[in-house]
A and B are shown apart, each in its own frame.
Chain A
């Protein structure tokens, strides 16, 4: 029934080759190349020649105030956005699962941001955040809160980015959580009901543990996604990282160094640092999950 091994392997490779070629060209090769570039003081990306091999770039990046700011902003963004958006998504998914009225309408509504381009959403948010005409200030005004210069006040640029980040990531998380909840056997809930389990206990003792593999998966995905935040900044601020760079993120720093400052080796070094940060945290998360994910 089985053909000789080399033949089947070759066949598999052939089928995989389109994907492999694309991944190799656009992911694997650039990855190694940028690590290589990051060690040169000067590097010509067209001729592939460089001078001054060493760790100088890393020293420069790590002592650059703008990179430290980017690191700080990205950390705050990640720490705030990931848990809040996950909690909101989970609650929304549970509510949607309870088959409330107007379900179909909501189904369309919550899925919209997922299929809409982030830049377009960013433009919409520019209107929402607009200090004079924006909806957000109008709503806050009802509660007696003074006009906030969301996009122009350096104090509020990161909060604005965070609000946008939470919102833009919700749809995907809700979809995954909802699918997860609907995959839980209904009989667990019937059994819980007969045993007089309160709604809260049903959620914490049954839904959450049974959803834990999915919560963890979403956790890692959104954690990595948050560390790589870039499009949100562009969507909200166009071609500057907020007033006085206050919405600078690591990936924006990388982009800015590459195109803006035309310093590919510095950009490469910064991206390698980001890669290491993500690697370390993902590793830690996987370690934790072995202990915490319930089954």
Chain B
């Protein structure tokens, strides 16, 4: 791997992990809200 390419890949991975963690947390929060709201689909 060329110089600097590993750093760019690491930055991309950190950004992706951040987005994925946020989406998983958001998913869990919405599920809790759906359960608390008496959503007929649940």
The finding on whether chains A and B are genuine partners in a shared complex, rather than unrelated, reads no
